[in-house]
Amino acid sequence: MYHFSVMPLEVSNYLVNKLDGLYIDCTFGGGGHTSYLFEKFPSIKIIAFDWDEDSSNQFIKKNNEFNDRINFIRENFKNIKQALANINVYKVDGILADIGVSSKQFDDLARGFSFNSNVLDMRMDNRSQLTAKEIINEYSNRDLADIFYKYGQEYRSRQIADAICARRQRGMINTAVELKDVICSVKRQEGKINPATKVFQSLRIFVNKELSNLEVLLSDAPDLLSEHGRIVIISFHSLEDKIVKLNFKQNADNKIYKLLTKKVVTATSQEIKINPRSRSAKMRVCEKINA
């Protein structure tokens, strides 16, 4: 299974406001949301983005199924405006982003997202340069602590950075397993959560510049949306959700958007039972009111 799509029914109900419209799936992944939308709305078209090579291969596999209703662009969604202009698209009827990593990316040990991985990479786009290995082995003690604190809200950030720098004296940290062991030498397990969770999350966000990519997408979205076009963002992290909430509020205050979700939308208990990952998903939706 490539990836279990989160809240597909809610996504489709909120996103599609024009039955023969053109929509953007910013995070194609395994194509789960796109497939669901195509099945439910036989006359819509989708332009899908994903920067990941596996996702691009997944698209090639599924292409026949989608016929001529889809265009796939292997690109960072922060470049959406230019990428769409390149194919002469300037307005769309809806934008969906289901941000974060896919289960496929997370479970593939060669990608370095999981604690059990024998590499230290964490790039979603293998064309980019910066890896977690470079950060862990080359960044200063202070920079490491700042990353762990800012993007992981890790309260032991300084002690963990100290332990990593001490461990570096004995040779490079080459794998996620080695990094996890260093973190666990400083931080004990509390409850079910692995002590390395926050550091791993902070590295992933930093390596992939996840917050700034989201900010650029949100700032370009109003220009791209047609009147009554919808923007649906699903995030899995409080830092991301805070950015979405603030952007939507500002645009609603400026009468550019109407807020369709006064309260954040979360997965139902039935969905969480089938797909535990959906537990932390937060969906917010706006409609463009001033084209």
**Interface residues toward ligand SAM, by CB under 6 A:** 3, 5, 27, 29-33, 49-52, 55, 76-78, 98-100, 102, 124, 213
Instruction: Supply the angle between the helices 8-15 and 32-40 in degrees, to the nearest 10.
Output: 60
The tokens 């992944």 sit on which residue?
Answer: 29
Nearer CB in complex with ligand SAM: 49/248: 49
Instruction: Give 32 or 222: the residue with its C-beta nearer to ligand SAM.
Output: 32
Q: What is the b/e burial string over 174-201, where b = at least 16 CB atoms within 10 angstroms of the residue's CB?
A: ebbbebbebbbebbeeeeeeebbebbbb
Minimum distance from CB of 56 to ligand SAM (Å)? 10
Residue nearest to ligand SAM (CB): 29
Q: Which is nearer to ligand SAM, 52 or 154 (CB)?
A: 52
CB of 27 to ligand SAM, least distance (A): 3
Tokens coding 233 = 């963002």
Nearest distance, CB of residue 11 and ligand SAM, angstroms: 8
Instruction: Name which of 5 and 175 has its Cβ closer to ligand SAM.
Output: 5
| Closest CB to ligand SAM among residues 235, 251 | 235
CA-CA distances (angstroms) from residue 171 to 162, 174, 182? 15, 9, 13
Shortest distance, CB of residue 49 to ligand SAM, whole angstroms?
5
Instruction: Tell me the closest approach of the beta carbon of residue 225 to ligand SAM, in angstroms.
Output: 18
Nearer to ligand SAM, 52 or 220 (CB): 52
**What is the smallest separation between the CB atom of 107 and ligand SAM, expressed in angstroms?**
12
Report, in Å, the least distance between residue 277 CB and ligand SAM: 9
b/e 121-158 (16+ beta carbons within 10 angstroms → b): bbbbeeeeeebbbebbbebeeeebbbbbbebbebebbb
Tokens of 272: 């969480």
Is 243:211 a contact under the CB 8 Å cutoff?
Answer: yes
> 26 or 196: whose CB is closer to ligand SAM?
26
Taking the least distance from each CB to ligand SAM, the nearer of 21 and 30 is 30
Q: What's the min distance (Å) between Cβ of 6 and ligand SAM? A: 7
Residues 6+ apart with CB under 8 A from 123: 111, 130, 131, 207, 208
